[in-house]
């Protein structure tokens, strides 16, 4: 499906997008269209209509999103709901109108209910409401699953929906105000190490758990699904390993050489209690599984930040 196709990749210049675009080129895509936010506000329907009409892609891979860590999510619930819902709705509808052959929607693990049984199975998506601090983002993304399934039923529109767990790796967002947990911890511990700070203060209790997927593995999963999967059901992308936040912090602290004390600010929220995926469906339906070892991925990410990222 990819070989010889024109593929439009929203968010294609970003953290995950650059990896996805590289793999699409390797798979033989004839042309990549990468709309940039400065020229194309995807929350505006007419902008999306003009973009799709002028480029006429065969495949659309929708990666673009507006989201951050717990603090950013709490500060921007309205914006994050609107932006993520509007971008997806506009892109799906306009892709249908111009006859896009396949639409790949990258969703979020934040769509799962707050108290989903671990490991999260795709059929558990509707068991309850998402964790409060990221619910607007999660619900907006989950609504696009309903839209794609509805469009498949009414219009025979081939849209697939993927649920990657928390991503990490080189070129991630390391801004302390908006970053996710791994880049935030890496930056905090390196800054504390370099300034000989005796402590690093982190949010919450450290007791929640998360699962993390290295960015190149995520890109591999997305492109493999684009090539091989055409079903209506959502599919998890992860590595199947659950990591307590306290252990994550201690691991990063050791890897960067921070010798001080970790202090937990229990007045701050923890977020979702546990997060780990059942990843069997991806292997069963399109033969994909993650390959990058977690500690190795952390080392690569730390090395990139110290050698390149921190220097701008």
Look at strands 102-106 and 59-62 and give their pairing: parallel
Query: Is residue 77 in a domain?
Result: yes
- pLDDT band at residue 305 using 50, 70 and 90 as cut-offs: very high
Query: Could you confirm whether 137 is annotated as catalytic?
Result: yes
Residue 312 has pLDDT above 80, yes or no: no
Per-residue pLDDT reduced to its tens digit, 12-27: 999 999 999 999 999 9
Query: Is residue 122 in a domain?
Result: yes
CATH number for the domain including 216?
3.40.50.720
- Catalytic-labelled residue, pool 137, 151, 168, 229: 137
The Cα-based distances of 300 to 13, 212, 237, 308 in angstroms read 20, 14, 20, 12
Query: Is residue 301 in a domain?
Result: no
Domain that holds residue 68: 6-171+211-241+274-292
Tell me the C-alpha distance between 59 and 222, whole Å. Answer: 13
Per-residue pLDDT reduced to its tens digit, 201-248: 999 999 999 999 999 999 999 999 999 999 999 999 999 999 999 999
The structural domain count of the chain equals 1
Query: Is residue 306 in a domain?
Result: no
Query: Is residue 264 in a domain?
Result: no
Per-residue pLDDT reduced to its tens digit, 72-120: 888 999 999 999 999 999 999 999 999 999 999 999 999 999 999 999 9
Query: Is residue 30 in a domain?
Result: yes
Q: In the structure encoding, which two tokens stand for residue 263, read together? A: 């202090």
Query: Is residue 67 in a domain?
Result: yes
Query: Is residue 42 in a domain?
Result: yes
Percent of the chain residues past pLDDT 70, beyond the cut: 100
At residue 311, the pLDDT reads 79
């Amino acid at each position: 499906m990819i070989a010889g196709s024109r593929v439009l990749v929203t968010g294609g210049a970003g953290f995950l997008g650059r990896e996805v675009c590289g793999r699409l080129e390797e798979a033989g895509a004839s042309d990549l269209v990468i709309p940039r936010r400065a020229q194309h506000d995807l929350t505006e329907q007419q902008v999306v209509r003009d973009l799709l009409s002028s480029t006429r892609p065969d495949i659309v891979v929708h990666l673009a999103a507006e989201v951050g860590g717990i603090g950013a999510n709490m500060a921007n619930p309205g914006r994050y709901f609107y932006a993520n819902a509007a971008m997806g709705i506009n892109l799906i509808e306009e892709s249908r109108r111009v006859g896009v052959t396949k639409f790949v929607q990258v969703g979020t693990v934040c769509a799962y209910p707050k108290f989903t049984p671990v490991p999260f199975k795709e059929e558990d998506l509707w068991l309850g409401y998402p964790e409060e601090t990221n619910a607007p983002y999660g619900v907006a993304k989950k609504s696009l699953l309903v839209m794609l399934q509805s469009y498949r039923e009414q219009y025979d529109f081939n849209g697939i929906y993927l649920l990657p767990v928390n991503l990490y790796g080189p070129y991630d967002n390391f801004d302390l105000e908006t970053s996710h947990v791994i880049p935030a911890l890496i930056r905090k511990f390196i800054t504390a190490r370099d300034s000989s700070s005796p402590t690093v203060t982190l949010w919450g209790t450290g007791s929640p758990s998360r699962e993390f997927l290295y960015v190149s593995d995520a890109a591999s999963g997305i492109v493999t699904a684009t090539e091989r999967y055409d079903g209506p059901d959502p599919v998890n992308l992860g590595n199947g390993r659950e990591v307590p936040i306290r252990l994550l912090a201690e691991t990063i602290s050791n890897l960067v050489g921070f010798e001080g004390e970790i202090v937990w600010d229990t007045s701050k929220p923890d977020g979702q209690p546990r997060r780990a995926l059942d990843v069997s469906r991806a292997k069963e339906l399109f033969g994909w599984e993650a390959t990058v070892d977690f500690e190795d991925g952390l080392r690569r990410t730390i090395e990139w930040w110290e050698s390149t990222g921190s220097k701008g």
